[in-house]
Structures are given as C-alpha cells and as structure tokens.
Amino acid sequence: MRLLLRSNTGEFSLTKDLVGYDPIPPYAILSHTWREGEEVTFGDLMDGTGKNKTGYNKIQFCGQQAERDGLRYFWVDTCCINKSNHVELQEAINSMFRWYQNAAKCYVYLSDVSTAKRKVGDESLKFTWEPAFRASRWFTRGWTLQELLAPTLVEFFSQERKKLGDRRLLKQQIREITGIPDAALEGAPLSQFSDKERFRWIQCRHTKVEEDKAYSLLGIFDVEMPLRYGEGSASAFKRLEEEIEKLNKCLRDLRLTDPRDDKKRIEDTKGGLLEDSYHWILENSDFQQWRDDPQSRLLWIKGDPGKGKTMLLCGIANELTDSTTNTALLSYFFFQATDSRINSATAVLRGLLYMLVYQQPSLVSHIRKKHDHAGKALFEDANAWVALSEIFSDVLRDPSLKDTYLMVDALDECATGLPKLLDFIVQTSCVSARVKWIVSSRNWPNIEERIERAGQNVTLSLELNAASVSTAVQFYIRHRVDQLALEKSYKEKEKSAVLAHLTSNAYNTFLWVALVCQNLGDIPRWKVLAKLEAFPPGLDALYNRMMQHISSSDDADLCKRILALVAIVYRPVALSELTYLCEPLEDMADDLASVQQIVGLCGSFLTIRSGTVYFVHQSAKDFLCTKAVSDIFPNGMKEVHRAIFLRSLQVMSKTLRRDMYGVRALGYPADQVEEPDPDPLAASRYSCIYWIDHLSDWNHGCSAHDRVPLQDQGPVDNFLRTKYLYWLEALGLCKSMPKGVIAMAKLEKLMKGRADAAELTELVRDAHRFIMAHKWAIESSPLQVYVSALVFSPSSSLIKSHFKNEEPQWITIRPSIGDTWSSCFQTLEGHKHHVNSVAFSHDSTLLASGSIDKSIKIWDVNSGECVRTLEGHSQYVNSVALFRNSTLLASGSNDRTVKIWDGSSGKCVRTFEGHSAEVWSVALSEDSKWLASASSDRTVKIWDASGECLQSLEGHSGSVNSVAIAHNSTLLASGSYDKSVKIWDASSFKCLLSLERHSGSVSSVVFSHNSKLLASASDDRTVKIWDVSSGECLQSLKGHNSSVSSVVFLHGLKRLSSASIDGAIKIWDMASSECLQTLKGHGSCVRSVVFSQYLTRLASASDDKTVK
C-alpha cells in the first residue's frame, strides 16, 4: 500500500509502495462515497493535477484531521491505488479490509449530512442532522460495509467537517439503519456471525459495478479470490460462496477442540474460578517482569501436583482478556494426559491456531496455503507436526499480527511430542517482542533443562511462593466450606470443624481440598464430625484412604476392576465401551445411568464428562499405577490386558457386520458418512482399534500354555476367518485404518516361530497383505472392502476365499489378478518427482527417501505412513543414509552440500560445505562417527560428525558417482564416471586398488557384510563382484537391458540384488551367477535398491515418484 504524507506547506506526496515486511507507520484512513469525475486519481496526484476537483477537499480534510490526531500519514482510496494497473487493483481489493482494520483511525466523510441548522449551545437540537445521517447515501453503498466494520475506531464527519460522533456513540442509530448487531459494531470477530447473517448485511446496499457487490464482501468473510469483471453478479457470488466454503472447511478441519470450551469445562468441574485464589499472581514480581519487560517473553509457572496451576492460568487468561480487549490476541491450551484429543504436541498447535484465527481471521491465509491442497490430512497425517509448526512460525512472523499472548497448561501431561514442543516454544519465544508465552508444569528436570535454553525466560515457582499460595488456598477452602454448609445444612459446629480440618491439613494443595470436599458431599451431616479425621493430609495419604474405603465396600472387586481397566486402556473409554470391556457390567449395557453410579463409587479417582470416563487428575492415575499396583492389579497388568483382549474379541464378534452404518452405496466417501444415532460402533469402537495392542501386551513373555488365542482354531483364528472384512470396514468408519495396518504388522510379528499355529500364521500373513494392498481404498470408501479389495486380490488369498460370499455378483467380467500376491508388499507415494535414493534405518522400522523434488521423506515401514518430510536443500537430493541410532540422517544434494538432519524434529542440524560440484552419494561408518561423500568434483571427502573435513581423496578422473564404507570400517570404495572402482584404506586414506574391468560409468558400489567382497554396478549393463583383498573380478552378472543403477548384497541369503534404468530389479544367486527372479512393478527407471536383513525385504526408489 502507498500512504499520503502532508507537508508543512499543505502539499501531499505518496510514499513508496509498502510491501512484504516493510514497516508501515500509524495512519488514518478515509471512507466516503465517490462522485464520478470529481475524485482525485493516482494519475492526478503523480501529475500534480486534480486540485480543482471536488474530491481534493476530502483529501485535505483527511490530512488535516490526521495531523490534529497526531498522525503524519493517511490513506485515500481514490488516489493511493493505481487502478490502471490490474495486478495492483486485484491486490488492493483483496487487501482493503486489512488496510482499514489496521488503520489507527477511520474518518467517514458524509457529503450529504449537514450540521448548518444546528444552533450553538442548543442541546435540544443536538441531533437535527440525524434524519440526514439516517438517509445518508454512505449507508447504501457496498464498499462502505467493510469500512464501517473493519477499523478499530470509526469517526463520522459532516460536510462541514464537524465531528458527529464515533461508531460507539452512534451505535444505536447505526444498528437501526443497517440491522447490524451491536456486537459487530463493538468490534467482535466477524467469524462469530453466521454466513447467512453477514450476507444479509449487504442485501440493501448497491455498487456501481455489479460484481463489486460480491467483491466488497471479501474482507467481511476473510477470503481472497481473483477479480473477473464482466463475469456477472451471479458468477461472482457463486465463486465467493465456494471460497467461503473452503475457508469454513479449513476451520472445521483445524478444530480438534475449542480451548475456550475446555477452559469453561475445567472451571465448572472445579466449582468455578475464584478471583481471590489467583489474584496474588498479578502482584507477583516475576509475573510483572514477564508482563512488562519486552525482553521477557517466556514465563514458566512450575509446582507440584494439585497446587492450582491450571486455575492460576485460567485466572491469568481472564485478566489478560479484560485488559487487552481488541488490542492484543490471547490463545491458550490445556493439556490432559488422559484425553487423546488434547495430549499431544500437534494438538497444542491446532488449538492455539484455532483461537488466533478466530480473533484475527486474516491469519488463516497461512493455513489455507497448505490446506487447500492437502485437506484435513494436513492436520492429522504423520507430517502434521512439521506442517503445523511451519504454519505457526509464519503466523508469528506475520507483520499484521497484534501483540499476542500464548498460554499452555500442564506440559507434563503432553503424552506425545513433548521435547519438540518445548524446543518450538523456546525458539518462537525469540521470534518477536510482540509474542509472549506462559507455560505451566510440574517440577520436571527434563522440562526445566529445555526451558532454560531460552535466554529471556522467567521462572515462577509455586513452592517458592508458598505464602501467596497458602493465602489463595485459604480463600478456596472458605468458598468450598460455605458451599458445603449451604448444601448439607451444616450448623456452625460442623462448619467450623470442617473449616479447621481443611485449613490444618491442606498443605497448600487445591486438589486435596477439592477431593475431600467431594467426599464430604456424600456424607450425611450427622456423620461429618466422626468422619473428618479419616481424611489425612497429603495427596498420597488421601489416595490411600480412598483405596481403603473402596476395599472395605461391598463393591470392592467391581470398583477395582474398573480402576484397573481405566488405568491401562490406551485412551479414555466411553461408558458404552466400558460396559462391554468390564464383564460384570455387561448386563447393564442398556442402563448407562447405573454404570455411571458404579463409576461414582470408585473413591473420587474417576470423573465422567460427556459420557466418557477420565481420571480426576493425572496424579490419581500415577498413584494407582505406582503405589496401588497390588490393590488393582493383584495378578499383574498382563491379566487385565488379557481380559480386555478377550472381551474385545467378544464384543466385535457380537456387533460387527456388513454395512454397519447402512450406507449402501459401495463408493460412498468415508468423510461424508454420518454417524447414526444410536451408533452401532459405540460399544466396540475402542476394541476395534486396540484389541491387538492388548493381545500383544498380554502375550509378551507369556508361556506357550497361555497363548491359546494364537493357536489354530483358536479365537483369533476364528475372528479373522469370520469377521475380518467387517473389522476393516469398521476401521474405515472409525478413520483408524493406519492403526489397523500397524496392528496387523504387530500380529504377524507375534506369530513368528509358532509351530503350533501354522494355519493361523499363513492366515495372518495373508490378512496383513490384504490390508496393505487395499488400505487406501478402504480408508476412502469403507464398503470397497467388499468390492475392489476382494476383486483385486489374488485367487490364492485366504481372506478372499473365506469371504467369497461377500463378493458382488453383478461383476461378470473379472480382472486377471494372478494366483499369488505381488512381490511388492507396499507402494509409498508422496514425492512430487523422481526418487533418487532410499535407505533403511538400522532397526528397519523406518525408511528414508530422497527426491528430485528437493525433499527427504521418512516413512514408517509398518504402516506405510510418511512420518516426516525434510526440506532445506535447494537442489535435487541424490543420496540419503540413516545413522545407527535412527534419529539422525545424512543427505547429499546437487546444491553441493551434505546435510545432517534430526529426524524427530525435521530440522537440519548441520550443513557440510566443501564440494565444488554435485554430491551424488553419502555413506556412514558402522559406528556413525564419520561419513564419506562422493561428488562430481572428482573427489571423495571424509567428514567427522561435527562437519570437519578430515580428508579429501583424489584419484578419479571423472565424477565420483558412489561411495561405500566396509562394515568393519577399515575400507572405502568409490565408483566413478571414469569406469573405475577404487578401494581406499580408511586409516591412511591411500588408494589400495584400482579396479578397471567395466566398460561404462560405475554407478554404484557396495561391500558384503563380511567386508570381503565388493559389488559394482555400471552403465555397461553388468554387475561385477570383486575380491577385496586381491582385486580379482570373481563374477560378472549380465541380464539387464539397460544401465544398472544400484546394487546391494542380501546378507544371510547368499544373494545379490540389482536395479536398472530398464525398470527391473533382479535377484541373483551368487554361487551360480543365475538370475533367480526379476521384480517388475515400477513404471519407470529404478534408481536405488536397499535390503533389510531384519525384514528380509527390499526397498526400491524410482523415477515413477514411488518407493516400493
């Protein structure tokens, strides 16, 4: 945008076009209605003409009024936009709302409203101009709607330049004129008003150009779209509605939870927020330093369990909201370890972003850049953290971002991704003085260690502020005792006794007070005095007392079973799930009210919210799993896992069937399926997702006698033969197909070495292949499990055979699939261009791939999910290698660098520079302490882990295409465009042998596991095997129709595999030199092949953009 600057002589000049991160000074902005031919244009201002136009008076007015208000700069639409420049006009219209929103003041000049008839000092005639104001043309124009709502301060002026009042003062008149509600006129986020209501605001307004009626709403709905003058009003509104739907879908997909609802739930659950219980912190010097010092951007509030950290943050949130209305943004998030929705690092970013976008809608543009392409998967797939952290960083760097407060409570309850979240908070606390963080947690050393890395952090310890906390607890005690006295009709004697006991035993712990008062609420008034001493001081002592109470009750066994089950499940279970998982409750499946009462007998350890059972506090679960193990797990945790597994099989066998949701349409998309009421999966949802996990936890370390479920004709065998397809459908409906894939891999692993279950082992292997082959189809449309999944499975498939009756009979011509499953176990798709390199982690759980699209992807081998995308190279990635610990990764690129990456955070931790041309290959020593890189600059460089180049090996006369390090780390080998292979001593770095039998460029070299043999692949279409000690060529393998691009030994199998530009992968017998098998499936050149000894599988990378 350009701004106008008024000189001392009254002349006006334009600033340069302020774009990107150019600082924009405070400015005023003019709102008015145009008169054709009378407005001063950009061209007029540049030519020095236009002073005789009527519109020039408005520019003078705006400049003079801005000067009176202490503003040097101002903006007028007629002359600050070059409307002859179509690109500039497009950008201006899409940015107009934001320009008005960011203005210090907006002056509305009403040329048709006069104050001339008003008599000075005559208050009775104060609003003689009001009829003209109500009839003003300004309220009928389309563009003035956003000019009314966007700015923080709007002032109205008459044609005589007299101030009539501001939007706040004239709110009633404006509401009556426009029908716009007070909240919108007071500056509430427009996103809180429905689309229908916002469209209604424009109905009685008009624009000169018909399309402008739609374009004038872009800012009102916070969307952008290209302008197409001439398309007509209907087309413009249709496109606008499409953009609005995209925005709404983005926000729906982003919303995992609304932290405002979580805050209210927490406050309600804890009996309301008392100002006296948190007000002390506002006077605390540490808090004030964080609040007032621009350099103090991170406040860590730490304290032991139950000290009131959560309610303290609720109170701070309220105070910041009240003190910064419309001037700053506040976003917060409350962790809860027992709720899988809100216990991960990714969930925090989603929650914080959701609140920020609600308050400053323009920030959604940072999310939509990626969401418009990726959809909901952006927030849910394995790359969600990387994508969200990048989006969040962009938001915090946005020049338009207001002062922002970010709060995260209970970091210690982050179950997934805490280290990377802490690192992210520390890093972003240094981004801008406009952004401040508050976090809270228990006194955990691992949290303290990372937070201490922030140079300007402030720590507030509740233990070091014991006196203030004690006073706050006393306020809380008096409040709760007053409530009890009212509810239980205490007399003064009971009330005083309760107050005294709580005061002397609370030990500054809010949670202790809350739990005791909850128990007292169930005790008759006449028993209170006798029971008081039963509540000992300290949380652990109180939990012990609660366990003793349970143990002495008539329902002790049932309560303990429920506590054990809730303590061990992978996520909180709904009451409907609990009834089937806990056998004694099964008869109450239709009486959830009774189940709720039974849960209430569990000694205040548990609470129920929205029909789901949670622990009342994380410390309650910690107590049961550490100090009450013998009480709730008398036969060990394995026995509870066994019970959950068996009950899960029973409930699934009882409830699962074809077309659970009555969808009927076989291709109906999963994301459009609506959950019926009642939900047929309500009882079995948990079981569907976690039954194999509980089987695995039970099976681990069990004797053969205990493994009955994994025998032929056992319950698992029977379930797979009769319910497997229905289970897959249920997984699709639950949107949990990735977990199902991992579960089947875990089940196949459990079956290894089971001599007593040969048939089940084959069935599980086939079932695993089935889900791997068809997971995408079932995930997209669950009923495809009965159509495409069966039709496109081989005739020998056991699952296909067992469910033959489910195949559609209307398919008369069936595709020729073959008798057996393809050699290709799974295909990994995600790269946008050729994949050059692939590598397994040491434990074979991960796979890394590098591509021409400049990215590196890390894949979960079991699920096939991409867990991380690494971006940072500026050119093609040619080679990847994983460190032995599987957390670090090395890559070589056309940008002449070698980069070391932290696979868990996705960050580049080091960049090695030194090559003068493309890096084609990287290799790691067995202990990962040093690495080698090969380059077009004809050298091999040796680096230590810090990035220091230890040696540069020279000797090749052409590009070095490949480098390998022997498993014993004593030798290196390099293959070159000069047709030679060189073997180097890894200590002296001298060339020991130069092998020259290839007639073409050498593309790949690899050592055997015992380091005695070396294989090389060449453009001459051969693979040669060499004796490392003598340099003798032992074998030459021929059979490829084009250049051989990669070669690998299959350790333990006495075989070797090679990949070729001809698209084939060959398996060779090293004893006979015969090709045992040719694998085909890639649609283009195969660039890389690697072997996993652990999995006995090959992985290949291809120009067809896939990894197989």
- Give bridge partners of residue 943 from the DSSP assignment: 931, 949
pLDDT at 670: 86
Q: Is 478 among the domain residues?
A: yes
> Which one-letter amino acid corresponds to residue 1019?
D
Distance (Å, whole) CA 302 – CA 459: 8
Kindly state whether residues 900 and 1010 are assigned to the same domain.
Answer: yes
Q: Quick one: DSSP state of residue 693?
A: H
Kindly state whether residues 223 and 309 are assigned to the same domain.
Answer: no
- Domain that residue 620 falls in: 555-634
Find the mean pLDDT for residues 487-512: 91
Contacts with 86 (C-beta within 8 Å, 6 or more apart), sequence order: none
Kindly state whether residues 790 and 659 are assigned to the same domain.
Answer: yes
Percent above pLDDT 70 for the chain:
98
| DSSP secondary structure, 539-599, as one string | HHHHHHHHHHHHHTSTTHHHHHHHHHHHHHSSSPPBHHHHHHHSGGGGGGTT-HHHHHHHH
Q: Is 421 among the domain residues?
A: yes
pLDDT at 362 over 90: no
- Give bridge partners of residue 309 from the DSSP assignment: none
- One-letter-per-residue 3-state SS of 719-779: HHHHHHHHHHHHHHHCCCHHHHHHHHHHHHHHCCCCHHHHHHHHHHHHHHHHHHHHHHHHH
Find the mean pLDDT for residues 717-721: 96
Q: CA nearest 1022: which of 1054, 1066, 973?
A: 1066
Kindly state whether residues 958 and 1078 are assigned to the same domain.
Answer: yes
pLDDT at 281 over 80: yes
> Is the distance from CB of 200 to CB of 179 less than 8 angstroms?
yes
**pLDDT-derived band at 706, boundaries 50, 70, 90:** low
**pLDDT-derived band at 117, boundaries 50, 70, 90:** low
For residue 926, give the CATH number of its domain: 2.130.10.10
pLDDT at 125 over 60: no
Contacts with 699 (C-beta within 8 Å, 6 or more apart), sequence order: 706, 707, 710, 750
Distance (Å, whole) CA 425 – CA 1088: 39
Residue owning tokens 């994508």: 387
Kindly state whether residues 971 and 854 are assigned to the same domain.
Answer: yes
Kindly state whether residues 485 and 394 are assigned to the same domain.
Answer: no
Distance (Å, whole) CA 779 – CA 740: 11
Distance (Å, whole) CA 409 – CA 403: 20
Residue 690: count other Cβ atoms within 10 Å of its Cβ: 21
Tokens linked to 1? 């945008």
pLDDT at 221 over 60: yes
pLDDT at 270: 79
CA 737, distance to chain mean position in Å, is: 18
**pLDDT-derived band at 703, boundaries 50, 70, 90:** low
Find the mean pLDDT for residues 676-689: 95
pLDDT at 318: 93
Kindly state whether residues 784 and 890 are assigned to the same domain.
Answer: no
3-class DSSP state of 538: coil
Q: Is 334 among the domain residues?
A: yes
Strands 1086-1092 and 1097-1102: antiparallel
pLDDT at 1088: 96
Tens digit of each residue's pLDDT (9 = 90 or more) over 1046-1092: 999 998 778 999 999 999 999 999 989 999 999 998 999 999 999 98
Domain boundary pick from 821, 843, 862? 821
Phi-psi label, residue 1042: left if phi above 0, alpha if psi -120 to 50, beta otherwise = beta
pLDDT at 121: 52
> Which one-letter amino acid corresponds to residue 545?
R
pLDDT at 386: 85
Tokens linked to 99? 């320009």
Q: Is 550 among the domain residues?
A: no
Instruction: Give 430 or 254, the one with higher predicted confidence.
Output: 254
For residue 296, give the CATH number of its domain: 3.40.50.300
Domain boundary pick from 821, 850, 880? 821
> Is the distance from CB of 408 to CB of 332 less than 8 angstroms?
yes
**pLDDT-derived band at 324, boundaries 50, 70, 90:** confident
> Is the distance from CB of 267 to CB of 312 less than 8 angstroms?
no
CA torsion angle for 814, 816, 821, 827 (degrees, to 10)?
Answer: -90
Kindly state whether residues 948 and 1017 are assigned to the same domain.
Answer: yes
Q: Is 366 among the domain residues?
A: yes
Contacts with 242 (C-beta within 8 Å, 6 or more apart), sequence order: none
Percent above pLDDT 90 for the chain:
68
* Total-model pTM: 0.72
Domain count, the chain: 7
Tokens linked to 725? 């397809």
Kindly state whether residues 306 and 409 are assigned to the same domain.
Answer: yes
Find the mean pLDDT for residues 578-588: 93
3-class DSSP state of 934: strand
Number of H helices, E strands in the chain: 39, 42
Sign of CA dihedral 599, 600, 606, 608: positive
Contacts with 1024 (C-beta within 8 Å, 6 or more apart), sequence order: 995, 997, 998, 1015, 1016, 1018, 1033, 1035, 1036, 1037
Between 75-79, 455-459, 567-571, 652-656, the lowest mean confidence (pLDDT) is in 455-459
Distance (Å, whole) CA 480 – CA 468: 19
pLDDT at 10 over 80: no
Tokens linked to 929? 């302490």
Backbone angles phi, psi at 758, to 5 degrees: -60, -45
Q: Is 939 among the domain residues?
A: yes
Distance (Å, whole) CA 511 – CA 442: 14
For residue 584, give the CATH number of its domain: 1.10.10
Q: CA nearest 386: which of 429, 357, 335, 420?
A: 420
Tens digit of each residue's pLDDT (9 = 90 or more) over 857-891: 999 888 888 888 899 999 999 999 999 887 899 99
Contacts with 19 (C-beta within 8 Å, 6 or more apart), sequence order: none
Between 125-134, 571-580, 778-787, the lowest mean confidence (pLDDT) is in 125-134
Q: Mean pLDDT, the chain, as a whole number?
A: 91
3-class DSSP state of 466: helix
Q: Is 974 among the domain residues?
A: yes
Tokens linked to 776? 């995408």
Q: Is 984 among the domain residues?
A: yes
Instruction: Give 666 or 565, the one with higher predicted confidence.
Output: 565
Kindly state whether residues 1028 and 921 are assigned to the same domain.
Answer: yes
Kindly state whether residues 957 and 1035 are assigned to the same domain.
Answer: yes
Contacts with 418 (C-beta within 8 Å, 6 or more apart), sequence order: 345, 411, 446, 447
Kindly state whether residues 120 and 259 are assigned to the same domain.
Answer: no
Domain boundary pick from 416, 431, 464? 464
Tens digit of each residue's pLDDT (9 = 90 or more) over 1005-1038: 999 999 999 999 999 999 999 999 999 999 999 9
**pLDDT-derived band at 176, boundaries 50, 70, 90:** very high
